[in-house]
Amino acid sequence: MEKLDPKAFWIFFFNLLLAGFFIALAICYVGVPLLGILGKSLFSIFWWVILFFIIWIGFSYFWAGLSYNAYKYELTEDAFKKEQGVIWKRYVSIPYERIQNVDIYRGVIARILGLSDLMIQTAGYSAGYGGRGAWGRDPEGRIPGLSKEKAEELREELIKRAKGTKSGV
């Protein structure tokens, strides 16, 4: 099985940092009024948020490494296969005849790093709302963090194999 581009680690890391930012906002939203009720100063929540971010940065770095190492994919004779997940492993196998569309998506961080996401959409699974499936789910065959060249090469190969199975070749 093949691994993602080594720079994909940074995509996982920045996504976790972004999630931490929203968690910190939620802490502030709940914490500031609570401090007023308890008679504490606003200064004390500032230090709790700083402490949270320091711990979150370390956790994000560690978890991004685990996530990067757990993400693998391959093209077999009859299907696209991928595995992902650190705690809960997810194994996906998509027969080529089920592939409807293969897109390449490049977000801001991915473009800065020179990477792409490959989105393999299948009938009945991917609704395709803005690069994501229904209700924000990823398409069944999403591969984040591929080099531009590798993403384009994989896209062409998947399209060729999908057309080949549908035409009976």
> Tokens in use for 5?
């581009």
pLDDT category at 133 given cuts 50, 70, 90 is very low
Tell me the CB-side half-sphere exposure of residue 130, using CA atoms within 13 A: 4
As a whole number of angstroms, the distance between CA 99 and CA 113 comes to 28
pLDDT score of 39: 62
Reported as a pLDDT band with limits 50, 70 and 90, residue 128 is very low
Residue range 127-153: mean pLDDT, rounded? 74
* Range of weakest confidence among 13-22, 30-39, 83-92: 30-39
Domains of the chain: 2-69 (no CATH), 75-166 (2.30.29)
Q: Is this structure's pTM higher than 0.85?
A: no
106 Cβ partners below 8 Å, 6+ apart? 115, 116, 117, 148
Q: Averaged over 107-111, what is the pLDDT?
A: 91
The rounded radius of gyration (Å) of the Cα atoms in the chain is: 20
Residue-averaged pLDDT of the chain: 85
pLDDT band at residue 106 using 50, 70 and 90 as cut-offs: very high
CA 41 to chain centre: 39
